[in-house]
Amino acid sequence: MAAAPGRFQPPDRPSDKEGPRRAFVVVLAGDRMGEMFELDPAYTTIGRGLTATVRINDEGISRTHAAVSVDKGVYYLSDAGSTNGTFANGDRVDRHPLREGDKIQLGAASVLRFTFHEDTDDDQQRELYESTLRDRLTGLFARGYFLNRLESDVAVALRHGKPLALVRFEFDRFEDVRAAVGDAAADHVLRTMCLTIVESTRSDDLLARLGDEDFAFLCRDVDAMRASRAARRLRETIAARELPAAEPTRLTLSLGVADLALLHEPTAEALIKAAESALMIARRAGGDRVEIYDPENEPTRLV
């Protein structure tokens, strides 16, 4: 049962019934994104120095930035005298009892999630984590992971005054391809197109599959105009690809671009909705185009 609002919740600790549990941090954003580190049951240091137990070489991280220690079965996060501070769930902390799912932010871009795992096979645990990190069909990041990253990147962009843009896109009339060639062949086409998209975007862009034919990429340090140019290049690249043994023989994209700085309410949720609004206008106009969200006017079309 969830605790009532404002009621103290004790930190997580393994019970006798649960059996042995191991603690990990999973890197949601930053230099080691996607990696999983087991915490030493005695003491773990986190920083960019060579002696750090968990080494993360990101902007704003001190050589020994933070530490995790265990006291009476409870894991505690402590700041280790860092220059820029250690944050837990958005709050700056000196010492914080960790709970399952707590988000730890270090420096400008690194976000880690604290989690427990049962004492079982490592490969099984990593496979389980990969299934939540990546979409199985396309290999792109999964929706849940993307939304977590989006929240973190929006917070970083607002804190440091950096631009951030989101592009949402869909394949036009992909159901026609699926109807013509069947599910297995259509899935192969989708995988092939997604590989092309990965090769056509920056390595810094975060690509994700949000739904069946609903995709997005997040552009760090990029405003609406630069993101729209990237979207236009992607549209042209996909339109130029010929599909083998499929009808139609080519696919096109509808894309919607939103800029965090242009929103009246600069939140992750508002950014998603703004990009979706621009995408819907591109689709209703016939597809194969790019639209930029403008809160004051209709989105701007970029053919």
pLDDT digits (tens, 9 = 90+) for 129-182: 555 678 889 999 988 888 888 988 898 899 889 999 999 999 999 998 888 888
The reply to whether omega before 97 is within 30° of 0 (cis) is no
Give residue 16's pLDDT: 45
pLDDT at 57: 81
For domain 21-133, the CATH architecture is: Sandwich (2.60)
The architecture in CATH of the region 143-302 reads: 2-Layer Sandwich (3.30)
Question: Does 21-133 match 143-302 in CATH topology?
Answer: no
Q: What is d(CA 170, CA 194) in angstroms, rounded to the nearest whole number?
A: 11
Specify the DSSP class assigned to residue 289: E
Average pLDDT over residues 179-207: 90
Q: What is the mean pLDDT of residues 228-250?
A: 85
Rounded CA gap, 141 and 143, in Å?
A: 7
Domain ranges of the chain: 21-133, 143-302
- In this predicted structure, the answer to whether residue 8 has a pLDDT above a threshold of 90 is no
CA atoms within 13 A of residue 26's CA, in its CB half-sphere: 21
pLDDT, one tens digit per residue, over 44-97 is 999 999 899 999 888 789 999 999 999 999 999 999 999 999 999 999 999 999
User: Please, what sign has the CA dihedral across residues 217, 204, 271, 35?
Assistant: positive
State the CB neighbour count (10 A cutoff) for residue 201: 19
Rounded CA-CA distance 221/18 in Å is 44
In whole numbers, what is the pLDDT of the chain averaged over residues?
86
| Residue 158 CA from chain centroid, whole number | 17
